[in-house]
Structure 1
Amino acid sequence: MSGHMSGNGTPSVIIAGDIGGTNTNLALVRRTKEDFTILLALRFSTREESSLAKPIETLLFQAREKGIGDRPDICCISGAGPVRNGEIQLTNAPWDIKASEIEERFGLPAMLINDFTAISYAIPLLDPDNPSQILKIPHCDGSLPPTPKEGLALVVGAGTGLGVGFLLKQKEGRCLAFPSEGGHSELSCWDELSYAYHRWLSDQLSYAPGAELAVSGQGIASIFSFLSGPGFDTAMAEPYGIAFSPRPGEESSIDAAILRLPEQDRPAEIAGAIRKSPRCLLTMELFVRYYAAKVSGLASVFLPSGGIYLAGGISSKHETFLLDGQRFMRTFERNYSPHMRKYLAELPVMLVRDYSVSLLGAANAAVQLGSGANA
């Protein structure tokens, strides 16, 4: 393989990685001017690996086998967890990532960044007018506020956990992203059912629960467990327009089958059974409302004039449910303050559809931050 740094000292070929609680995604990415091209991308199971060494070796081996003659200049890995002293302690995975181990093993400078820092760095690479990359979400009045090219943007996404980051969009495509662990901030409540779930979590934790325990894959599984237990009264579902049959029959068998699954396998089954099980439907309804309430609360903190971007696998996989009947936006626009209701109604809100966004973001971070930076 051949490789070189560009004339201004920035990398031209990057190993980009996105390490989550479920999947480990790696890619070999080439940069030409302001464009990035994924030469080869591979996916691994995070829980079946014990470190990044074998996946990176596999990526480089397959690149050689496919005749890709580009040698990487740098490795930039994003992970679901905070970066401290060149290390990421993955929030929802059994192993950690160390920049020093990558550098020693592969002889490359290595950068580590938070997963939502990577997504933030991908935002300027996406075309807001291309619906295959970004979907603009209409507000309750049908309006679609324009998306400014500059300003502070908020990036939030539900996946295995809940990721939060923010991005300062600058001139000529430059940007500066900031990491966050906002997914662990407080969980909102607004009615009898949401308070009951909050109490149920608090009793288990002996502390106030965080938003991730509702707005994530694990949150979906947790909500379903609560709705299947003695702390839930079916009368609580009436304000949601969801009726539970006094003789559930098939509904009960579906719910029981889901409870027999390993917890990490439940979210997909719950989402797939919303037309057959009121309990599954109510679970997803609560998930969306918790999601929208958290994004709305974060918007009041950051005042993201540059727009709000919903990322993460759950948003894209369940886009129809999220947006049907303005399910997300109806909760997002709620606030006790008339001033804030008006402000929220004027913010551009977008759903990121491009699943390669994290890998592109890691590559862009390598270019914009330079080697040796860990954020």
Structure 2
Amino acid sequence: MMDREVTIDWSENAWAGETVILSGDIGGTNANLAFVMKGDEGFRILLEVSASSLDIDAIGPLVVRGLEELNVRYPDLCPELGCISGAGPVNGNCCSMSNLPWGVDGDALTREFGFPIRAINDFEAISFGVPLLDLDDPDQVTVMPHTNGNRPEPEGDTRLIVGAGTGLGVSIMLGDSEAARSVPSEGGHASFSSFDRETQEILDQLRKEVGWVVENEDLLSGKGIVALLRYYMESHGSQIDETLEEILNASASDQPRLVSRYASNHPVCRGVIRLFVKIYGRVSADFASIVLPKGGLFLAGGIVGKNEEFFLDGNQFIRFFEQNECVQVRNILKDIPVYIIRNYNISLLGAANAGWAAR
């Protein structure tokens, strides 16, 4: 592995801890590892080691590089355990990456490095990071006001996490901090239900494309933004200008990013993102009506982060989140705290927390 392929980042805010944990966040684009200190004050990243996922063919060499860096500065420190999350399904202690030819084999890594290493799904890592968030720190979360202006305080320890990215992740967190327990789900693959004329038209269009069952993930994901762009342009008779031509000529994986980039100043892109946010609000409300997450609804994922202004503008998300035929349910939804996660270390810290909880 060449030096130019690896980024080394030492934290200036680390403090001494009792345990060193190797944590990882492996996606289709970036492979990020961290050595996390666990002490009485919680979890704190000491060292990050990152590389392009496409530049490596296994995670082991990146772990070796991180251990070498750690040994130079802190020769007495050695990880006692590890937990590495990957963007893909987990079977046993092995994560098969959805967009890479290699995966994360926790048992093989344990044998190679001599300390227990667990492999988990990337959304499980985010879920375990949620109890570690400081809800009073605007650098970690954005608190979304409800339509009445209220910002409810969290009650209890039931939290719901919904995150749109490459796919749509949904999970429930029970318990607090080190006692937290993640309840996984496949809510992204639940059937999508229309709720107005516009979403019925979208549902009809997608049903022709994907079959008779349209899933939430077919709309709330990167590919969902592409589908909404097709619908919006067709239903509004949009003329293809220079911006839209650039988007349409881009790869399917780049189109969502470009729609987000131009949403602030291009009417079609803005309309697509506002439609996306509207649907996000309703689908999140469906899950919240089942779970009743008085501890908070947490919106995760890169799409939310890139388009935060549209989630807040005109209460677009909250207006559709609060809608329900039943008055009692409407009142319940209005009492649920809603947060946008802004701490981009949440996956690394969450993986460390998951590893610590499973020790």
TM over 0.5: yes
CA distance in 2: counterparts of 1:312 and 1:89, whole angstroms: 20
CA distance in 2: counterparts of 1:69 and 1:46, whole angstroms: 30
- 8 Å CA contact 1:140, 1:330 repeated in 2: yes
The match for 2:132 is 125
The match for 2:84 is 77
2:259 equivalent among 253, 265, 270: 270
| Inter-CA distance 55–201: structure 2 relative to 1 (3 Å threshold) | farther
- 8 Å CA contact 1:92, 1:161 repeated in 2: no
- 8 Å CA contact 1:273, 1:280 repeated in 2: yes
What is the TM-score with the length of structure 1 in the denominator? 0.84
The match for 2:12 is none
CA distance in 2: counterparts of 1:43 and 1:301, whole angstroms: 39
TM alignment of 1:66-215, pairs within 5 A? 69-148=76-155, 150-170=156-176, 174-215=179-220
Equivalent pairs counted in the alignment come to: 343
Q: CA deviation at 1:299?
A: 0.4
Q: CA deviation at 1:302?
A: 1.0
What is the TM-score with the length of structure 2 in the denominator? 0.87
2:316 equivalent among 311, 323, 327: 327
Q: CA deviation at 1:285?
A: 1.3
| Inter-CA distance 272–352: structure 2 relative to 1 (3 Å threshold) | same
Q: Look up the SS of the partner of 1:233 in the other structure.
A: helix
1:216 equivalent among 218, 221, 224: 221
Q: What RMSD over aligned residues (CA atoms) do the two structures have, in Å? A: 2.3
| Inter-CA distance 21–301: structure 2 relative to 1 (3 Å threshold) | farther
Q: CA deviation at 1:104?
A: 2.8
Structure 2: stretches of 5+ with no match in the other structure: 1-16
> 1:257 aligned to 2:246?
yes
Deviations 1:102-152 (A, max 9, x none): 12332221112222222222222221112211222100010111112x321
> 1:42 aligned to 2:42?
no
Q: CA deviation at 1:11?
A: 7.8
The match for 1:5 is none
Which has the larger displacement, 327-336 or 59-68? 59-68
The match for 2:272 is 283
> 1:56 aligned to 2:45?
no
> 1:12 aligned to 2:14?
no
Aligned-pair identity in percent equals 36
Look up the equivalent residue of 1:63 and give its one-letter code. Answer: L
Q: CA deviation at 1:47?
A: 4.2
CA distance in 2: counterparts of 1:233 and 1:267, whole angstroms: 19
The match for 2:307 is 318
- 8 Å CA contact 2:128, 2:351 repeated in 1: yes
| Inter-CA distance 105–224: structure 2 relative to 1 (3 Å threshold) | farther
Q: Look up the SS of the partner of 1:264 in the other structure.
A: coil
- 8 Å CA contact 1:17, 1:359 repeated in 2: yes
Structure 1: stretches of 5+ with no match in the other structure: 1-9, 236-243, 371-375
